[in-house]
């Protein structure tokens, strides 16, 4: 009897991110437009990086909120359009809301009104 093991892995994450006041912007760097399907992992990596910068750990300190709490999240997808990223209170990905903007400043203004 022969047994084979098949391992399925998700595509590598290729993105850049930064903060601009109250907004965390994320830009997809490859043309595959696959970042949305892996958004939980993206948000986890960004949250971890923010915690490294601040020294807080929301997993061990129950009085500490998720590192992305309070930020508005913008995603620039592979087509160049900006989208609002909706999360729950625990920082988990819920959905993407297309803003239909190519201009960052306009997307920034729009995402500030997304709840």
Express each pLDDT in 30-72 by its tens digit. 777 778 889 999 998 998 888 888 777 767 776 667 788 889 9
Q: Exposed, middle or buried by CB within 10 Å (0-12, 13-18, 19+), for 111?
A: buried
Beta strands in 1-115 (DSSP E): 15-20, 23-28, 72-76, 82-87, 93-101
What confidence tens digit (pLDDT) does each residue in 71-101 have? 999 999 988 999 999 998 777 899 999 998 9
Looking at per-residue pLDDT, the higher value among 101 and 7 belongs to 101
Q: Please, which residues bridge with residue 76 across strands? A: 27, 82
Closest by Cα among 56, 106, 62, 46 to 80: 106
pLDDT score of 14 more than 70: yes
- What's residue 62's pLDDT? 67
Looking at per-residue pLDDT, the higher value among 109 and 55 belongs to 109
């Amino acid at each position: 009897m022969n047994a084979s093991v098949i391992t399925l892995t998700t595509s590598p994450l290729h993105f850049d991110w930064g903060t601009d006041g109250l907004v965390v912007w994320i830009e997809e760097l490859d043309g595959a437009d696959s970042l949305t399907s892996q958004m939980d992992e993206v948000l986890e990596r960004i949250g971890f990086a923010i915690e490294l910068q601040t020294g807080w750990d929301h997993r061990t300190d129950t009085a500490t909120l998720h590192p992305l709490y309070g930020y508005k999240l913008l995603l620039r997808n592979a087509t160049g359009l900006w989208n609002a990223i909706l999360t729950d209170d625990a920082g988990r990905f819920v959905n993407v809301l297309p803003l239909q903007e190519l201009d960052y400043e306009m997307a920034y203004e729009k995402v500030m009104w997304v709840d």
